[in-house]
Structure 1
């Protein structure tokens, strides 16, 4: 792999597919993808939210960026109950993908989801793109990073 980030839907799908291919070729345990919104898009969304948080207040409320991990034909991700409903909707359009396991840790809010993803890297890349956009509500201009291969 020669690039580790992308910011358009087509480039992100290719990035995800390339990382999955590299992961398989290297025999690594997993590939991890992480989203970071474009600064201007994030500022616009924060302003549109009208929550009044700025500066240090906004920094205190910053959450970890959404991530999706792929390994051994399985997607792994964390989500809220509302995001889980959105995930089920997205997976309805990917018949080769199926939720295998839901884990609700006592010490954390939300759920960890394991999805069997027995498909070629391009199809997995399409699904990962849809997860970031439709489950995690990332803007079209969000930047995706491959943070582990």
Structure 2
């Protein structure tokens, strides 16, 4: 891999596919894709590194940035119950992808979801792009990057 971030839908999909190929070639445990927690930060606003738009002194809890991991034919992601509903609807358009496991940790809100994704890198990349856009509600020009390969 020679680049590690992208901001347009086409470039992100290419980035995701390249990350998956690099992961497979290196036989790494997984590849992780991330974006900012706050859409303002993605579109050039004042928030940085996932801090909320009002600054670090806000009483609002810090939200972890959305991420999706891929490894061993499985997508792994954390989401809220509402995002889980969106994920289930989205996966209806990807018949080769199936939710294998949903874990609800007691110490945190939300769920961890594992989705079997036995498809080529391009199809997995399409799904990852749609997860960020439709499940995590990212704007069209959000920045995504490969955080780990």
* TM-score of Structure 1 vs Structure 2, range by shorter chain: 0.7 to 0.9
Q: Is 1:15 equivalent to 2:15 in the alignment? A: yes
Structure 2: gaps (5+ residues): 47-52
Contact 2:35-2:42 within 8 A present in 1 as well: no
Higher relative contact order (CA 8 A, sep 6+): 1
Structure 1: gaps (5+ residues): 45-52
Q: Which has the higher helix share?
A: 1
Contact 1:38-1:143 within 8 A present in 2 as well: no
Q: TM-score, normalised by structure 2?
A: 0.88
Structure 2 equivalent of residue 83 of structure 1 = 83
Contact 1:38-1:142 within 8 A present in 2 as well: no
Pairs within 5 Å for 1:1-149: 1-36=1-36, 37=39, 39=41, 41=43, 43=45, 54-58=54-58, 61-149=61-149
After superposing on structure 2, the runs of 4+ consecutive aligned residues of structure 1 that deviate more than 2 Å are: 36-44, 53-62
Q: TM-score, normalised by structure 1?
A: 0.88
Aligned mates of 1:60, 1:118 — CA distance in 2: 39
Aligned mates of 2:93, 2:110 — CA distance in 1: 23
Aligned pair count reads 141
